Structure 1
Amino acid sequence: MKCFWTALRFSPWLLLGLLLAPLGASATHIVGGELDLQYKSGSTYALTLNLYFDAIYGDPNALDQSLVAGIFAKGTNQRITLVTLPLTSNTFVQYTNPACSSGSLSTRKLVYTKDITLDAATYTNAAGYYVAVERCCRNVSISNIVNPGGAAQAFYLEFPAVVRSGAAFIDSTPRIFPPLGDYACRNELFYYDFGGQDVDGDSLVYDMVTPLNGHATAAVGNTAPTPLGAPYSTVSWNAGLGTANQIPGSPALGIDAHTGRLTVRPRDLGLFVFGVRCSEYRRGVKIGETRRDFQLYVLACPTNVAPKATVRAAGSTVAYRPGRDTLRLLPGGNRCLTIRYTDPDPNSVLTMSARPVNFTTPAVAFTTSTSGTVRTAADTLTATLCFPDCTDTKGKVYLLDIIVADNGCSLPKHDTVRVAFTAALAPNTAPVLTSSFPPAPLPVSDQAPAVVRVALGQRYTATLAGLDADRDALTMTAAGVGFDMAAVGMQFTAQNGAGQANATFSWEPACDAVATAGEDGGLLVRFRLAEAGPCVPVPQERLIRFEVVPAAQEQAFLPPNIITPNGDGQNDYFTMPSLPVDFCDRKFASIKVFSRWGQKVYESDARDFHWGGAGAGGLYYYLVTYTDGRKFKGWVEVVP
């Protein structure tokens, strides 16, 4: 799962005061940051520090070209190694709502990253490990901690051993959501969704924590110190503030432990630092955590009244009543809603959206414009929302939130109408597929094909027919399983239509079809009847296995085992009239006859050979070969 964070910056009012204040040598104005460790392959991981920096009032000398990270054993705080992280990216942070941005607010995102090796021979401690980067100093105008200009930051991340129970244990820390350049308004609800996903599927738990100060001090100036091991000191809160009350308000700043939703209705103006921790669990056991501390600026904003939305079902003269009414969408009925929305604040830009609550399948579509500008307080906008005909709640009540939002700063205000509805599908009768192919073997199975044997060079023809009681459009198709039907001479023609489809299959196999069939000797063809129109179509299929057989019927191979060459016209010669017939590349090649001492006494490449013995009685052995490598061996006794 991912942890989502928010990056928040200054207002012009605060910055005006900062313009008049001199910058000290250690006033680096670090805004915040977080560490990230992602698995790549083998023993290689990418270690990254995202550092956020005041681009206007930060000391340019504090833009480090590299920073040093320390990796420590959690159980002993012993340093394992130091890693130099080079600066690889320097970009600006954007606002969630650009219309609320100010040209005097600017934050940079500095990315320091390097691939590291966490080998299985070193990182085996069951207590796990942590990474730390230390830097000074914070913004001097932070209003909720003591001596902010002298307060440092310790960026901190925990990760598990890479081996557990003798097997590799791979883990990537929760990814940090891209920062946002927003601010909060005094006495207005501020919220942001930190919840996300982890690439390993681990469970995440969120809580508020006091930001770490670490060992760095203002005395180090703009020099990034070598990180030391834990324990790390924390920042000192001003009187009346603490971990559970980092930004005072009603409610004070807090985060939902399971969803990661950050909420505060701030009471005071100013710049506030806050800290959030995201812990990851696998099978109920904590395996790591990542921390982020950042800043939220609270200012006095112009009054913004929330918009208002009403919903009406098609043909209804009364508004839908959330919590009391349930829409019942029936086949063939009108499935549209009319939404009317307005805002008492002139020139507000309103946007309409729909969000499923207890289902995931897309179920609605706006058929008219969903955004517009309210010019006056009496101006009302209208949108139409329709449920597709194939929406099916399967007897359950689905909930859909219809949301209208304005473009107020710093965050839009909303009005939500929760619509409860049920929807059913029109019944659909499955089409019927019949054919002149032989029936499928018993027991009937979708994967058990009927077998059709076609003689080489002879034409085989079959017909197929499809019928649908609902008169849905039918389409008949045929496709070879692993081969091209046309390449082996198979022909298929179909006449498709509403409620009815017919097709003809014909084939006159040649030897190239035998080669395509391969050793198993069969060619599978899937015949399919598909219907268009119903929400849940029910296609029908027939799977046929075609086998090519010789044109001449083969006899049972029963070679003689005795001849009496005495001239009486009865059994005077050794012949094999029941030899397997020639079939494409399988042809008679030769026969050889050997004495009991291995001496060849006869050979012929004629299929209708006649051998009258070697002039002496006794036991002889023969070898028959075919061009495809098949061989037949046996013996024959000559009785004079």
Structure 2
Amino acid sequence: MALALVAPLAASATHIVGGELDLQHKSGTTYTLSLNLYFDAINGAPGALDPQLTASIFSKATNERITNVVLTLTSKTFVNYTSPACAVGSLSTRKLVYTRDLTLAPALYSNPAGYYVAVERCCRNVTISNIVNPGGAAQAFYLEFPAVVRNGAAFIDSTPRIFPPLGDYACRGELFYYDFGGQDPDQDSLAYDMVTPLNGFTTSVLPSVAQAGSAPYPLIQWSAGRSITNQIPGSPALGIDARTGRLTVRPASLGLYVFGVRCSEYRRGVKIGETRRDFQLFVLNCPTNATPRLQVRATGSPALYRPGRDTLRLVPGGNRCLTIRYTDPDPNSVLTLSSRPVNFTGPTPLFTTSRTGTVRAPGAPDTLTTTLCFPDCIDTQGKVYLLDLIVADNGCSLPRRDTLRVAFTATLAPNAAPRLTSTFPPEPALPLPNAPPAVVRVALGSRYTATLLGTDADRNALTLTATGDGFDLAARGMRFTAQNGPGEATGLFTWEPNCDAGRSTVTSLTVRFRLTETGPCVPIPRERVVRFELVPEKDSAAFRPPNIITPNGDTKNDFLSMPDLPADFCGRSFAGITIYSRWGQVVYQSPDRNFRWGGAGMAGNYFYLVSYTDGRRFKGWVEVKP
């Protein structure tokens, strides 16, 4: 396979620690392609830091080159130790980030088999212990990604990000652990396994190329006794949890070891991509570090908790705290206590006193004590929950830990549901799910008032609220006030439809009245939904003036008056009344809505016409009797 030389020839980077490629969706068809390259900051030559590197994209189905992407060096940072106090002068790693935005056009990236990206560079650290000819061993950084269109629709995927980079060393004979688990922006399922690192086609003679070659890529050669399942020897040898991405090894020999990890992503059970990380681990002789120890007892109890034999029973009103004692044989040891739920989520216990301190130093105690209390609102629902209590020291390279697993059950205090009553139309005797709300019809220009009462036998604090479905109460002329308190809450609702309500095309408004309680672990709210319908003000059908008057001076029915006339409202007002004889002659007129017509000496039938400024009219007749 022919590889084009970069002119001029770049310096041979004989101190590459490892790295991985990353492809993240930005928006539309725009993605960001990055190479995270890890470089030995102690032994690496500054001249070996490339200002740019070229990534090549290929079709998986055909190995056809799609394009080359020039990645520019945009960031240089140092990889932190888990514990900075454990730093050694022989180990310092620099993270170099090369990046570029690119367009993945659907017309070009639609092959169902997907695509892969590669960057090639030589060379690795010359002191690596587990491969052949490490000074001439190169690296091919590699990832796979799916087509950006599937079944005619956009198919968006971002690479799972394996993190963080490894800045620590391991101690011979000590268990080493590190989290290489990633996060996937698309919530795809991730699986991890160990792989043999890719060597690619570059060499110490040809350390850098203008573009990567296509797969398949040559692998590094393991030295005698080493393999994909025994990359770092030990008991156990280096391995990774397939689900969590947690690396573990208890190394048996000193040295610098390269290893490879693959993270595959699955969507709906189908693999859609992968990314690989090459890295290396330095194994040193470390000072002896003893494991810290902890003991637990229920607060006030003389007996120690026995893991695997005892189960705590947490009941309302009972003791909910543990007293924890923890120590370490090593002098000047800084201990930190933490808790981790094993088989549950939700409220977790809290340390009520300091959980970090130093033991066996001048003036420091030999044993530390703290208190851990379970919240009242943990409910195991009849199951046994498990909680790990973990004490860790500040030993190097990684803390040593002691874990004690606590089993417990917990029940909640009973809570009676509050009651909500009101003067609204009654609800059905047997409320049904999705039952229609009660309907209250209110005439324009009138006033509607209702009261609500919330009560609670447990005397929990109650709060009454009213909320309009998609509208503001005050803007519609509605008002709700509440008096809230322990065990009881009262509310007053008032609606006086204003002129704006009369002009609105929306004549049906739904209001949710909600009673909530504060205090119990599982509050039980109550809700009353009422639909208010706006109807016209009193019309002629409801207007019933008297039709007989007897102006005989007995003070009974002496005058024709109309006190129940529709009220003046929203610019509409009473214009006047005219009374006609049966022959059409006007016998009485008045602009006063409080008129009184006696009709004395005018026995017979008469007709009246009441007019309003908006053109509304009311007609009728009246008989005058002697």
Q: 1:334 to 1:446 in 2, by over 3 A?
A: farther
Matched ranges for 1:245-394 at <5 A: 245-375=230-360, 379-394=366-381
Residue 460 (1) aligns with residue 448 (2) = yes
- More displaced, 182-191 or 134-143? 134-143
Query: Aligned residue pairs: how many?
Result: 549
Distance 1:353 1:238 in 2: 41
Matched ranges for 1:536-555 at <5 A: 536-555=522-541
Deviation at 1:141, TM superposition (A): 1.1
Deviation at 1:416, TM superposition (A): 0.8
- More displaced, 282-291 or 43-52? 282-291
Gaps of at least 5 residues in structure 2 are 1-9, 544-565, 576-612, 617-626
Residue 71 (1) aligns with residue 51 (2) = no
Deviation at 1:537, TM superposition (A): 1.2
On the 8 A contact 1:87/1:111 being kept in 2, the answer is yes
On the 8 A contact 1:446/1:543 being kept in 2, the answer is no
Deviation at 1:581, TM superposition (A): 11
Matched ranges for 1:20-31 at <5 A: 26-31=12-17
- What is the aligned partner in structure 2 of residue 614 from structure 1? none
Q: 1:398 aligns with which of 385, 394, 398?
A: 385
Distance 1:125 1:178 in 2: 32
- What is the aligned partner in structure 1 of residue 166 from structure 2? 180
Deviation at 1:341, TM superposition (A): 0.5
Matched ranges for 1:512-551 at <5 A: 512-515=500-503, 518-551=504-537
- More displaced, 170-179 or 502-511? 502-511
Residue 472 (1) aligns with residue 460 (2) = yes
Distance 2:528 2:434 in 1: 8
Q: Matched residue of 2:501: which SS?
A: helix
On the 8 A contact 1:136/1:224 being kept in 2, the answer is no
Distance 2:280 2:249 in 1: 13
User: Post-superposition, which runs of at least 4 consecutive aligned residues in structure 1 deviate over 4 A?
Assistant: 441-447, 580-589
Q: 1:498 aligns with which of 486, 489, 512?
A: 486
- What is the aligned partner in structure 1 of residue 584 from structure 2? none
Deviation at 1:587, TM superposition (A): 10
- For residues 6-41 of structure 1, what are the alpha-carbon distances to aligned partners after superposition, in whole Å with 9 as ceiling and x for unaligned? xxxxxxxxxxxxxxxxxx963531111111112223
Deviation at 1:211, TM superposition (A): 1.1
Deviation at 1:395, TM superposition (A): 1.3
Distance 1:316 1:160 in 2: 60
Deviation at 1:196, TM superposition (A): 3.3
| TM-score after normalising by structure 2 | 0.82
Q: 2:192 aligns with which of 195, 202, 206?
A: 206
Q: Matched residue of 1:419: which SS?
A: strand
Residue 89 (1) aligns with residue 75 (2) = yes
- What is the aligned partner in structure 2 of residue 62 from structure 1? 48
On the 8 A contact 2:262/2:275 being kept in 1, the answer is yes
Distance 2:477 2:41 in 1: 73
Deviation at 1:213, TM superposition (A): 1.1
Distance 1:210 1:232 in 2: 11
On the 8 A contact 1:27/1:140 being kept in 2, the answer is no
Q: Matched residue of 2:22: which SS?
A: strand
Deviation at 1:532, TM superposition (A): 1.6
Residue identity matched to 1:188: E
| TM-score after normalising by structure 1 | 0.80
Residue 233 (1) aligns with residue 218 (2) = yes
On the 8 A contact 2:115/2:147 being kept in 1, the answer is yes
- What is the aligned partner in structure 2 of residue 49 from structure 1? 35
Residue identity matched to 1:470: D
- For residues 43-101 of structure 1, what are the alpha-carbon distances to aligned partners after superposition, in whole Å with 9 as ceiling and x for unaligned? 22211111111123212111111101111222332222211111111112111111112
Deviation at 1:492, TM superposition (A): 3.2
Deviation at 1:313, TM superposition (A): 1.1
Distance 2:76 2:426 in 1: 71
On the 8 A contact 1:344/1:378 being kept in 2, the answer is no
- What is the aligned partner in structure 1 of residue 426 from structure 2? 439
Matched ranges for 1:98-113 at <5 A: 98-103=84-89, 105-113=91-99
- For residues 109-159 of structure 1, what are the alpha-carbon distances to aligned partners after superposition, in whole Å with 9 as ceiling and x for unaligned? 111111122222222333322111111111111111121111111111122
Residue 510 (1) aligns with residue 495 (2) = no
Q: 1:166 to 1:542 in 2, by over 3 A?
A: closer
- More displaced, 151-160 or 498-507? 498-507
On the 8 A contact 1:214/1:233 being kept in 2, the answer is yes
On the 8 A contact 2:164/2:179 being kept in 1, the answer is no
- What is the aligned partner in structure 1 of residue 126 from structure 2? 140
- For residues 573-615 of structure 1, what are the alpha-carbon distances to aligned partners after superposition, in whole Å with 9 as ceiling and x for unaligned? xxxxxxx9997589999xxxxxxxxxxxxxxxxxxxxxxxxxx
Q: Matched residue of 2:182: which SS?
A: coil
Q: 1:453 to 1:108 in 2, by over 3 A?
A: same
On the 8 A contact 2:445/2:569 being kept in 1, the answer is no
Residue identity matched to 2:312: L
On the 8 A contact 1:554/1:581 being kept in 2, the answer is no
Q: 1:489 to 1:404 in 2, by over 3 A?
A: same
Gaps of at least 5 residues in structure 1 are 1-23, 558-579, 590-625, 631-640
Q: 1:627 to 1:106 in 2, by over 3 A?
A: farther
- More displaced, 404-413 or 166-175? 166-175
- What is the aligned partner in structure 1 of residue 20 from structure 2? 34
Q: 1:161 to 1:426 in 2, by over 3 A?
A: same
- For residues 167-210 of structure 1, what are the alpha-carbon distances to aligned partners after superposition, in whole Å with 9 as ceiling and x for unaligned? 43332221121313100000000111222332223222211111
Deviation at 1:524, TM superposition (A): 2.8
On the 8 A contact 1:216/1:225 being kept in 2, the answer is no
Distance 1:528 1:124 in 2: 53
- More displaced, 196-205 or 58-67? 196-205
Q: 1:585 to 1:36 in 2, by over 3 A?
A: farther
Q: 1:81 to 1:188 in 2, by over 3 A?
A: same
